[in-house]
Chains A and B, each alone.
Chain A
Amino acid sequence: MTTVDAILRDAPAEICRPWLRHILRHDEWIALAQAAVAEARVLVALWADTAKVHALFLDPAGLTIIAVSTPAEAGSYPALSPFLPGAALYERMIHDLWGHQATGAADVRPWLDHGHWLLSQPMSTRPGPPGQPGQPGVPNYFEPGDTMILPLGPIWGPLDEAAHLRLSVAGPTIRHADALLGFTHKGTLALMRGKSPRIAARFAARLSGDATVAHSVAFSRAVEAAMEVEVPARAVALRIAMMEIERVAVHLDTLAEVGRLADSPIVRSRCSLLRETLVRASDIAFGHRLMMDCAIPGGVAADIAESGSEAILRALGDIASQLSSIRRLHDGAALSSRLVGVGRAGGALAASLGVGGVVGRASGYAFDARIGFVSDYGQFAPRIAVRHDGDAAARQHQRIFEIEESLRLIGAALDYLPDGPVTVALPQVSGEGIGCAESVRGDVWHWLRLDHGQIAAVFPRDPGWALWPLAERVLEGAAAEDIDLIRASLALNASGMDL
């Protein structure tokens, strides 16, 4: 069997900073993906533009990335899903947005398009008439029938998400789970197209509220790579502080939510109080509780307020002083009996789907984009922990560890903070780039192409693309009564991948 390197060596390439994007014939496209699987590379993202389909593969051991493309000739391209299960949702999304058919796909049901939009294939050069609601396979909130539907909001479910899990249940055990998403699709890619990076950044910041800083930074890095501009050192340090504050705040929110569902009011109240203390400090420092729109292409929107560092450091002190007691609560019999063994994700599954973040690292898959892909972190040297149990208990402990490490990184970034400007002007140039960041749920990647300073094509990869397929597998065999706990523990979130 041929190797990835052998195929790439002979393929023509285009510049996609900081890498190359290789153009493959259809037969090479399949051969490369098969070789990538054999070499334990991970599919990070699969997306399209009007003419081609693109894929991003990661070598988690060597920390290298390869970007490849194949033409969507006469509207079709060879499917990867028959041997790469993680490709299936992307292929359905590509069909719904661009109209390219994945020949031989494992699953051809609609994903984002439920038949309600003003038009179909909205990203293609020639969008079609609206689809039809109620076709087989189109998710429907009012589905009657014999399968058990677990709606996660917006009406009947107990939760804040707008998504569905279609479950078949045997007694107390879940036999099969099928995630149905797309309900919160907002047409984000079409809205970003044709805009300047600074304006399009507002949409990147709103892909997913729990990762607004991470998505903003990944998008900004892609813009800066494409334009070959260097961000001032002060802005780099402020972005690190913001990304780590976001990680701490959202981990605290998840700890609180899991605590609530696991009948620990004390974990819930302590963690939500600490989260509140921190987001108020963010408001003082950066002018926004969630730091939305604070990281922008070229730097950060505004310098940290004069009293900002002090407010943040005070909040960090409050959190630090309570972390060991929060950890002890998780070691106690009450919580651990509720969390140990629940929602167990295997390391092989996480690696094969490319699930990074807390879920991956708590299952033995040691990938963190801060190591190897985000050079800004270099001098701060983040420490990464890896656990192997893969259950809800391991994920809570992983979050507590990551909070502690982020507290150190925030302190170091604010302490280092060099003087100087916080933005750089953006040239009106053309180019292509990829940027990445480690969000609270895992690695976020943005790809984009600029045409004279405007967005010509863009795709953001939210960690949800990997997390939801993993959740389906984790739920199989789980106790039906644990669904909410498992969902909260995996921090499933629909908006980022609903686009």
Chain B
Amino acid sequence: MAPRPDPIDPAAVESLRAGLEEAAQARLGRSLAIRHVNTGSCNGCELELRALHGVLYELERFGIKFVESPLHADVLLVTGPLTRNLAAAMVQARDATPDPKWVVAVGDCAVDGGVYRGSYAVLGGAGMGVPVDLLIRGCPPSPGTILAGLRTLLEANLN
């Protein structure tokens, strides 16, 4: 017996899919290209990004694809608190991404440093290094939450 994929609620997924694809086409005329940037994550957020990336959510259907270089990215998905050891790398990733670009903080750590706020080794959330366009909370946020956040981003930037 095949496992039941049951991705969140099917109706919600369909509305997400339609919304995202339409927005990506209208905004970009193509898929939204995402580059993941780890600025100090515990890897919990990565596990959920990998689930999002996995076939389960058939990202291409949503008008989204992951790319391997910031040079080809529209969106930087940032995970983890911004560690001091990676602060310069984060800025470099942003500078390497062509305009127009968006930075999305994924997970409580990237939103505001999470439990690591105040550490000698952590600057805080991604916003301490680069301007951030969208915050997606959760520790870690589920794949469905991340998708919904991306749709919000695209819709807000349609006009």
Contact = CB atoms under 8 A, between A and B. Distances in A.
A318 B1 contact: yes
A122 B47 CA distance: 30
B3 A277 contact: yes
B50 A257 contact: yes
A18 interface: no
A162 B120 contact: no
A190 B120 contact: yes
B55 A272 contact: yes
B47 to A, nearest CB: 6
A294 B60 CA distance: 34
A187 B121 contact: yes
A209 interface: yes
A463 interface: no
Interface string A182-216: 11111110110000000000110011111010000
Nearest to B68: A158
Nearest to A120: B120
B26 interface: no
A274 interface: yes
B55 to A, nearest CB: 4
16 contacts: A141-B89, A154-B86, A155-B70, A156-B69, A158-B68, A183-B40, A183-B89, A184-B83, A185-B40, A191-B116, A209-B46, A210-B44, A257-B50, A268-B55, A273-B54, A495-B43
A199 to B, nearest CB: 9
A186 B86 contact: no
Interface string A210-230: 101000000000000000000
Contacts of A156: 69
Nearest to B70: A155
A493 interface: yes
Contacts of A153: 36-38
Contact of A191 (B1, B6, B119): B119
A275 B51 contact: yes
Given A116-B87, A207-B42, 11 more contacts: A141-B86, A154-B39, A154-B93, A191-B116, A206-B44, A268-B55, A275-B51, A276-B56, A289-B48, A290-B140, A495-B40
A276 B89 CA distance: 32
A184 B93 CA distance: 16
A415 interface: no
A279 B51 contact: yes
A117 B92 CA distance: 19
